[in-house]
Amino acid sequence: MRKIIHIDMDCFYAAVEMRDNPEYRDIPLAVGGSGPRSVLCTCNYQARKYGVRSAMPAAKALQLCPDLKIVDGRMAVYQEISQKIRGIFLRYTDIIEPLSLDEAYLDVSDSSECHGSATLIARQIRQEIFNELNLTASAGIAPNKFLAKIASDENKPNGQCVISPDKVESFVERLPLKKIPGIGPKTAEKLKQFGYHTCADVRSSNVSKLQQIVGKFAFSLYQRSFGLDERELETSRLRKSLAIETTLAHDISSVECADVVNQLFPKLVRRLEKHNDRSITRQGVKLKFADFNQTTVELQSQECDLEFFLCLLKKALARADNRGIRLVGLTLGFAEKEQGTSQLSLPI
């Protein structure tokens, strides 16, 4: 039986700013730009009480919380602290899958620290993060990645949750589907319309029925409803795509979009130079309209070609319906590393 820990720092960027600036500690705080088109990176728990959330437009956040203090991010500082956190992880295991600067999976199945107790290892890691960096973290401990990630959110902030093997059945059965990674609000609402609210509802169905609702995610969803997840930790993850985008200071018309693509393309090429060992498989153009709806057009391609981007732009603009454009983005997809697949015996 594997022992997986998911460590998730509590409102990481905001917590660093509160640590370094005492005047921010007792006020609603967010990290991100404060311009009319800016989006928040994260916010502290005082701000969340007002409904402020990560990835929310700054203008909307200020409507919900007029006293919100928005500060610029300091990415170099966050990266340095993230490396120190990883150093703490390495005291217990070298099987680490970082998901971002502020969260990671750890496989401690073979660790002899804390008498091999994953629960005690997680507790000690959190204590060392606090003692050495004056920051708090939450943890989930479970037999697999899926359950560990959900568990880390159960007792936030500054807490941990253990799902032992003998508790998996009861925990998963009553788990709301909206808590499963990969199920966003729209998918959760769609499942709800068909009578699927919890994992127990999914268990009583089958993959064929689920495919009609969630497509290729059906098999994974069915697995998760039984608490199954055979994924190993990816200690060296290959980038699957590369993207660059810009949120415009004001809405523009369709005829102005080509100029934005021409400005973005050289920046994308410069970023691509760092990944010259990767094979390109597709190009894409993303547009977000004035009403915040968005569209993406992608087609197969083996190179980064400006003219091809402009052709994709025309296809995307055909969906504009006279709406203004507030964001333009370019994407490249890379060939994925071939991986073996394992099959679980589940009813279909």
What is the tens place of the pLDDT at every residue in 315-337? 999 999 989 999 999 999 998 76
pLDDT at res. 342: 35
What is the tens place of the pLDDT at every residue in 215-250? 989 999 999 999 999 999 988 767 788 999 988 888
Looking at residue 130, its amino acid is F
pLDDT at res. 182: 86
At 346, the pLDDT band (50, 70, 90 cuts) reads: very low
Residue 203's CB: how many other CB atoms inside 10 A? 14
Distance CA 266, CA 269 (A): 5
- For residues 54-62, average pLDDT: 91
pLDDT at res. 247: 85
At 339, the pLDDT band (50, 70, 90 cuts) reads: very low
Question: Would you say the pTM of this structure is higher than 0.75?
Answer: yes
Q: How far is CA 314 from CA 180, 244, 261, 286, 310, in A?
A: 36, 18, 11, 11, 6
Report the SS3 class of residue 50: coil
Helices (H) then strands (E): counts for the chain: 13, 12
Is the pLDDT assigned to residue 338 strictly greater than 50? no
Q: Are strands 280-289 and 294-300 parallel, antiparallel or unpaired?
A: antiparallel
End-to-end CA distance of the chain: 26
- For residues 1-24, average pLDDT: 96
User: Is 298 assigned a catalytic role?
Assistant: no
From 17, 97, 103, 298, the catalytic residue: 103
What residues contact residue 114 under an 8 Å CB cut-off, 6+ apart?
120, 121, 124
Note whether 272 and 333 are within 8 A (CB). Answer: no
What is the tens place of the pLDDT at every residue in 140-198? 999 999 999 999 999 999 999 999 999 999 999 999 999 998 898 889 999 999 999 99
What residues contact residue 331 under an 8 Å CB cut-off, 6+ apart?
241, 242, 243, 283, 284, 285, 286, 296, 298
Looking at residue 305, its amino acid is D
